[in-house]
Structure 1
Amino acid sequence: MIRNILLGWFGTFLQLFLRLSWGVISIPIAVLLHLNTVEIGLVATSFYIGYVISSIPWGLVIDKIGPNKAITISALILVPFNLLLFFSLNSYVLLVVVYLIDGLVAAAIFPSAMKIVAISHSDGSKFTFYIALVESAAPITTLLLSLIATILLHLWKFVYLLMAIGFLLLGILSAKINPNVTSTEIRKSLKIIFDKRIALSTLIRLGELWATWGTTTWIFPMLILYKDISPSLSALFLLLFGIGQLVGIISVDRLVQLVGTIKVILLNLIGFIIISLLLTISNDNLILSEAFLLGIFSFSYRPPTDSLIMKISGGGSAGTSIGYANAISQIGTMIAPTVVGLVLYLTKSFTFSMIALDIGCIISVISLIILETWL
């Protein structure tokens, strides 16, 4: 099953790179199409609108037909739309529509990857580890973007060509693998949606995604435009931020074993709030040292949260539970980029934009405290 998990990792990486690269390539595209900060944020939001709309249907489909078939269908549909942006990006409307369609289709990939983990490791002591392995695609994506950010400012079109090639390869590889998966009745899977513990866990996830992807989408351009940090130094910040995410996600399984799932999630949420506020008063040197810590706290809550959701639902309905969690929690991801863009547009303030990101963590902390009394 390890090759299935690696396939899930590759698919997760591709869909993350597609959406997270917007935080870098938005700068040259904004110049090309004369976009303001609100319009920049709306492009990212359009992706997440599609992601939210289709996540629950995809979850049900995944539990019914299996994760690999769902990945194949999704990946092959994404190929022509990325080629369209590579060959002809001359309209803001086209840009928004394609990102919306990308979101609708890419929503199948991450729940499929989680379903693969649930099929093979839900009863094992390394369940959180394998979830963290798949989700390590996120910090690795951030690291890669930090290393090539300055290059992408000039060669941004090739992001879409590489995405088309990557999704084509993913579709071909996924079609050749047939995991052992039992079809789950849609009626049975739908019951998961009405479990109040799943609903509250999803609200925790919503706040986490608000903070994580709002930061990842905006931190690079915010440092340049509103903190007067050079592009090269901002790229270094992004690199350290990504390293921190990777270190955090590698160590989270051991930390969960030591102190428990709930405490790990809570510690990381509080840590994010503290470091994000320190960033607003720090100079260039301190900002770089805080980038690593922000990276750790901005992602280490994800694997234990997703592990908690799938343990509550059971492996047979993992696709539906994560699909549902994606649908609701991605509202945070969908809103955060535009909220931050609006705050920047109205206040021109780095401080207020970071406070806007902390709202997500506050939502998660409150929901986590309530959930703990229900478990």
Structure 2
Amino acid sequence: MKRISSRQITPNGSAPGAPSSTESQPPAYRWTILFVVWFAFLLSYVDRVAWSTVSAPVGQSLGISVAMLGAFVTAFYIGYVVANVIGGILTDTIGGRKTLILALLPLGVATFCFGYTHNLRTGFALQLVMGLSAGADYSAGVKIIASWFGKDRGRALGFYSTATSLAVVIANSTVPSMSNWFGWQNAFRVLGVATFCWAIVTFFLLRDSPTTPSSRITRRELGGLLKNRNLVLLALAGCGALWGTVGFGAWGNALMTKQYGISPVTAGSISALFGVGAVIAKPLLGWVSDLLNGATKLVSIVCLICFAAMLAVFGQCSTVTQFYVVAPLLGAVAFGYTPVLIAQVTRASGAKSAGAAAGFTNAIWQSGSALAPIFVGQVYAASHSFSYALLTLAAGPICGAFILLFVARRPAYDQQRAPETPGQSTVSQHPVNSH
């Protein structure tokens, strides 16, 4: 009987070539990991959208003109886009756990300090810092999920991405009330303390990988991401998709109010149903993409085409009842594609470079978020047509679906196995890919 040396034992205690415990039975602790990164993303997004829920009354009390209320949002997104690129590289250099902690700590401090804002300049600077901090948590979360969930990442990313939709609901339902009861300054201070405390929880509970962390990404590998045809196409497709999603979020309520005289409260309840559809669809479509392994491209294309079609349908609605019926269906397809696109990004890059790839693609995606509201506003101002404005939004997902047609179907990098050599185990060669 051949003797197996201790050097040939995998970290799971199995012999070379034998399936590791994480492959045969994924660790249950990964669900704790998923909750930690999900809640961090949720808090980060609540911090991001909190200002929009109180901007009108608070801006008036600070003496900020209506035209300048959006300056804080602009400041945040300037920092956010920059941080996505830097945070992605940092994630693949020092690990997702450290990056997420380093993102949450300054975000908590900056959000707390925003409660002391008394003028436009101070608020702009603090929102810029908040954006620079918050932009790193997304890539860190994607990297960690890719390491822990492997082939099951679709449903995990579907749950992870519900944080953004749920954060909008939470922020709109809590921040204005807290502001009325305790003052808007204290509302931001509470959010800052909560974010800072969750960074401490993250320090104790979060782990980068179920096995040995992957090695540091090299400059050559980083340059390879920029030359990765699939990643570039996914970045452009996501930009078109978010053109429709964020554009509708920015203008949906205002268009219903201006065109049909629907009250802001009723328009808000219609948008709430839009968010409910999104919360349900994200994990569902993520799960479907896992079941249809290898068909994520088809799922995302179909979802984007349905998204464009539902925008056109919504543009033909004219009564409150019609809006109530269509809104949840529109929300489902307006957000459902996100976990499927994220899963494609991690497969195209491989687990080792998942952080940098997520940061790079999300930075491009967010450009669609910034541009759509401007163009839709110009179209509506020129035409005063509700349907034309919605068709302008529909152009984004149509372009995204077309671009996805050119994404090549290649073996996922993180599923490729290098041939084993004597004395080496699969786990030691591919430490983050034992699922």
- Provide the TM-score with structure 1 as the length reference: 0.88
Q: Distance in 2 between matches of 1:304 and 1:343?
A: 31
Q: Distance in 1 between matches of 2:82 and 2:356?
A: 14
For 1:196, the equivalent position in structure 2 comes to 229
For 1:255, the equivalent position in structure 2 comes to 288
Q: Is the 8 A contact 1:115 1:319 kept in 2?
A: yes
Deviation at 1:134, TM superposition (A): 0.8
Q: Please, which of 268, 274, 277 is the counterpart of residue 303 of structure 2?
A: 268
Deviation at 1:326, TM superposition (A): 1.4
Q: Distance in 1 between matches of 2:100 and 2:38?
A: 12
Q: Structure 1's 319 and 141: CA in aligned 2 closer, same or farther, altered over 3 A?
A: same
Q: Is the 8 A contact 1:184 1:317 kept in 2?
A: no
Matched, 1:288 2:330: no
Q: Please, which of 135, 139, 164 is the counterpart of residue 111 of structure 1?
A: 139
Q: Structure 1's 179 and 262: CA in aligned 2 closer, same or farther, altered over 3 A?
A: closer
Number of corresponding residues: 371
Q: Structure 1's 147 and 255: CA in aligned 2 closer, same or farther, altered over 3 A?
A: same
Q: Distance in 1 between matches of 2:397 and 2:253?
A: 20
Q: Structure 1's 45 and 335: CA in aligned 2 closer, same or farther, altered over 3 A?
A: farther
Q: Distance in 1 between matches of 2:47 and 2:265?
A: 22
Deviation at 1:288, TM superposition (A): 1.2
Larger radius of gyration: 2
Deviation at 1:343, TM superposition (A): 4.8
For residues 244-273 of structure 1, the C-alpha deviation after alignment (integer angstroms, 9 at most, x for no partner) is 001111311343335931222122212222
Deviation at 1:237, TM superposition (A): 1.2
Q: Please, which of 116, 125, 139 is the counterpart of residue 97 of structure 1?
A: 125
Q: Please, which of 77, 82, 95 is the counterpart of residue 53 of structure 1?
A: 82
Q: Distance in 2 between matches of 1:189 and 1:237?
A: 43
For 2:157, the equivalent position in structure 1 comes to 131
Deviation at 1:76, TM superposition (A): 1.2
For 1:25, the equivalent position in structure 2 comes to 54
Matched, 1:240 2:268: no
Deviation at 1:108, TM superposition (A): 0.6
Q: Distance in 2 between matches of 1:178 and 1:372?
A: 33
Structure 2: gaps (5+ residues): 1-29, 412-435
For residues 183-232 of structure 1, the C-alpha deviation after alignment (integer angstroms, 9 at most, x for no partner) is 32332233212211110011111112222223234434444455422232
Q: Is the 8 A contact 2:81 2:366 kept in 1?
A: yes
Q: Structure 1's 25 and 351: CA in aligned 2 closer, same or farther, altered over 3 A?
A: farther
Report the more deviating stretch, 321-330 or 13-22. Answer: 13-22
Q: Please, which of 383, 395, 398 is the counterpart of residue 359 of structure 1?
A: 395
Q: Please, which of 161, 166, 172 is the counterpart of residue 194 of structure 2?
A: 166
Q: Is the 8 A contact 1:45 1:335 kept in 2?
A: no
Q: Distance in 2 between matches of 1:149 and 1:278?
A: 33
Q: Distance in 1 between matches of 2:87 and 2:235?
A: 17
For 1:179, the equivalent position in structure 2 comes to 208
Q: Structure 1's 71 and 227: CA in aligned 2 closer, same or farther, altered over 3 A?
A: farther
For residues 297-339 of structure 1, the C-alpha deviation after alignment (integer angstroms, 9 at most, x for no partner) is 1111111111011101110111011011112221112223444
Q: Distance in 2 between matches of 1:344 and 1:139?
A: 26
Q: Structure 1's 350 and 11: CA in aligned 2 closer, same or farther, altered over 3 A?
A: farther
Q: Is the 8 A contact 1:66 1:183 kept in 2?
A: no
Q: Is the 8 A contact 2:179 2:186 kept in 1?
A: no
Q: Structure 1's 373 and 251: CA in aligned 2 closer, same or farther, altered over 3 A?
A: closer
- Provide the TM-score with structure 2 as the length reference: 0.77
Q: Distance in 1 between matches of 2:52 and 2:385?
A: 18
Q: Distance in 2 between matches of 1:365 and 1:153?
A: 42
- Structural mapping, 1:58-77, within 5 Å: 58-77=87-106
Deviation at 1:42, TM superposition (A): 4.7
Q: Is the 8 A contact 1:22 1:217 kept in 2?
A: no
Q: Is the 8 A contact 2:276 2:331 kept in 1?
A: yes
Q: Structure 1's 160 and 183: CA in aligned 2 closer, same or farther, altered over 3 A?
A: farther
Q: Structure 1's 354 and 374: CA in aligned 2 closer, same or farther, altered over 3 A?
A: farther
Q: Please, which of 39, 47, 50 is the counterpart of residue 10 of structure 1?
A: 39
